Structure 1
Amino acid sequence: MHTDLVAALDIGGTKIAGALVDGRGRILVRAQRATPAREDGDTVMGAVEEVLAELRASALWSGATAVGIGSAGPVDASAGTVSPVNVPGWRAYPLVERVRAATGGLPVELIGDGVAITAAEHWQGAARGHDNALCMVVSTGVGGGLVLGGRLHPGPTGNAGHIGHISVDLDGDPCPCGARGCVERIASGPNIARRALEGGWRPGPDGDTSAAAVAAAARAGDPVALASFERAAQALAAGIAATATLVEIDIAVIGGGVGKAGEILFTPLRAALRNYATLSFVQRLTVAPAQTGTDAGLVGAAAAVLTRTPATTVAGVGG
């Protein structure tokens, strides 16, 4: 019998992953479906229900005490709804209520995917042992989450720490979110690639125009590719320094596809951070790559349930 067994869902525009996770963060059972992102909301929910049905068919399911959900956002944990940008059929969709119904009434905890990865990194990854941390996911978009005072800090709606939409360039490019000069508009993978192409970088014979291809070119010494990564690093450094100045974090963890670029990103990032994080209380700030890998969303969704305070177990219930 596993104590502290919880169900976890990691919901994104490409896949819906589910797992039964124990109190040590081990995945014991897993299930997955492709996200029917172009379909209507109930069809998407059908895929979630299939994942849950597969988990419920396990002999271990009877030990599951709650469900943690990390979802692409925006999410609204206070209302129990999700409106993922890349799943148009879900707008203010009552995901918590539907998951509770599909699991026989288990308590459900909803957080954004950036917060979920933060929970995973704090529990088992690069932020372990740090009481005050920012974790970032830098890929197609830029998300994040905060650990403050040793606890996950999702905020009232589950979106706190969304560093991708801090403005770091007052007169910068318009961002799809409506603001200007956001970290995401400069540092996300597609924007790194866009800037390199605009600067004259050309892909190799395979035609690959991804940020990973730009990173490979930068490693080979291409000046335009290097400059695009340096600009991304500068934007990340400004956002990280602003966050550290505001809430006194001592580590920033960077995951996602762009985070895998290695020193092409981290060397200019550390250099830029010295220029922005200048006050005495932020000078010891370190930057590290994420460690939890592809299961971070599931492990983090489980962590959000396993580490919460008893009073917040279910609205209106608990100690």
Structure 2
Amino acid sequence: MSRAYAEGMSEPLALAVDFGGTKVEAALVDGRGELVVGSRNRRPTGAGASSSELDASVRDVVSAALVARPADAPLLGVGVGAAGPVDLDHGTVSPLNVPAWRGHPLAERIAEIVGGVPVTLRIDGLCIALAEYWVGAGAGSANMLGMVVSTGVGGGLVLGGRAVPSPTGNAGHIGHVEVGGFDDPCACGGSGCLEAVASGPRTVAWARTQGFTGETGEDLALAHAAGDPIALAAVERAGTAIGRAVASSANLVDLDLVAIGGGFSRVAPALFDHARAAVAQRTAFPFVKRVAIVPSALSDEGPLIGAAALVHRPELLV
């Protein structure tokens, strides 16, 4: 969802920043959750990037997005969604898949760029949830989980129409919930964590141990579409893990809906089928089986829209 702005338009805007394990993006977003045409910019991040390179990428996308701001449009604030864990008290981030940043003052760095505009930081999974609740697949669902399945697996909870209380800012981080039947080692120190089983890179890595010769999630998607048995098994494995984590979450907080976005969530429609099948096995618990598992309605704009919700919809935060 994008919107073109004519000269002289003065509607207040939010600057949205999404920092993840593969890329950082920034864009201007209006009060309807629509991106301003020409304001969206992207730079790479990655496990091999240095701290200074990451800071430069953030500076580049923020500066480029601001160039697209109409002269008369007020900038209300900056919303930042970042891969976790985060530390809200100190405004720092320590993305598991970006080792150069541990306790990095991302909110402060962005505040220095924008100069005097308030900056609100939250974990990227919560931004996904807020976006879907605000203008996406979760509209009207008071109790929902938003998930991103990509380089990592993140999540965020909206309960009773508000972001779930979270002293450190990491509530809903479903990627590090351990799922039964798997013992894959995780970078967090656990084993069988959802991220270690079902993220894009880890699913491809598992497939390669079975003889798959592709190297990326895109390769796996093509192989799955062609009926490759290893690719079929890899997607089933990832989807089953997602469904088990969703079922556990639904048991804990009685969810209406789970909306899943992120690049690897689009590897194949069967990923969702396998997730739903894993939930459906909870035959004795109708309240768990009722949870709907749906794709994000916002494509790849969800993280930015959710970051903008931190500014445009502050009443959703606790």
Question: TM-score range, shorter-chain basis?
Answer: 0.7 to 0.9
Aligned residue among 117, 120, 131 for 1:109? 120
Residue 109 of structure 1: how far off its partner (Å): 0.7
Aligned match of 1:316: none
Shift of 1:61: 7.1
Change (3 A) 1:178 1:294: same
For these two proteins, the number of residue pairs brought into alignment is: 307
- Name the counterpart of 2:173: 162
Which residue is 1:9 aligned to?
17
Give 2:39's match in structure 1, choosing from 30, 54, 57. 30
Q: Distance in 1 between matches of 2:230 and 2:21?
A: 31
Partners of 2:66 and 2:17 in 1: how far apart?
A: 13
Residue 97 to residue 198, structure 1, CA distance change in 2 (3 Å): closer
Which one of 271, 279, 285 corresponds to residue 285 of structure 2? 279
Residue number in structure 1 paired with 2:108: 97
Q: 1:132 to 1:2 in 2, by over 3 A?
A: farther
The correspondence for 1:45, drawn from 38, 43, 55, is 55
Equivalent residues of 1:15, 1:32 under 8 A apart:
no
Aligned ranges for residues 260-299 of structure 1 at < 5 Å?
Answer: 260-276=266-282, 278-299=284-305
Deviation at 1:36, TM superposition (A): 6.0
Rounded Cα–Cα distance in structure 1 between residues aligned with 2:77 and 2:181: 43
Deviation at 1:135, TM superposition (A): 1.5
Shift, 1:271, TM fit: 1.5
Quick check: 1:9–1:17 contact (8 Å CA) kept in 2?
Answer: yes
Query: Residues 277-308 of structure 1, C-alpha deviation per residue, up to 9 Å, x if partnerless?
Result: 74232221111111212222211100122222
One-letter code of the match for 2:39?
R
Moved more, 137-146 or 32-41: 32-41
In 2, Cα distance between the equivalents of 1:223 and 1:188?
Answer: 19
1:20–1:61 Cα contact (<8 Å) kept: no
Q: Using the alignment, how far apart are the partners of 2:126 and 2:230 within structure 1? A: 33
Where 2:220 maps in the other structure, the secondary structure is helix
Find the partner of 1:120 among 131, 151, 157.
131
What is the Cα-based RMSD across aligned positions, in Å? 2.6
Letter in 1 for 2:23: K
Q: Does the 8 Å contact 1:4/1:306 carry over to 2? A: no
Deviations, residues 153-199 of structure 1 (Å, cap 9, x unaligned): 36222221111111113771221110111111221222222332323
Give runs of ≥4 in structure 1 deviating > 6 Å: none
State the alpha-carbon separation in 1 of the partners of residues 101 and 209 from structure 2: 34
- Within 5 Å, give how 1:207-222 maps onto structure 2: 208-222=214-228
Which residue in 1 is equivalent to 2:4?
none
User: C-alpha distance in 2, partners of 1:35/1:138?
Assistant: 18
Matched residue SS, 1:309: helix
Partner Cα distance (1:111, 1:310) in 2: 12
Aligned CA distance change for structure 1 residues 165 and 87 (closer, same or farther; 3 Å)? closer
| Structure 1 segment 169-248 matched on structure 2, within 5 A | 169=180, 172-200=183-211, 202-203=212-213, 208-248=214-254
Gapped runs of 5+ residues in structure 2? 1-8
Q: Secondary structure at the match of 2:281?
A: helix
Q: Percent identity?
A: 44
Secondary structure of residue in 1 paired with 2:148:
strand
Gaps of 5+ in 1: 313-319
Q: Does 1:256 align with 2:262?
A: yes
The range that moved more, 275-284 or 112-121, is 275-284
Q: Which amino acid aligns with 2:107?
A: V
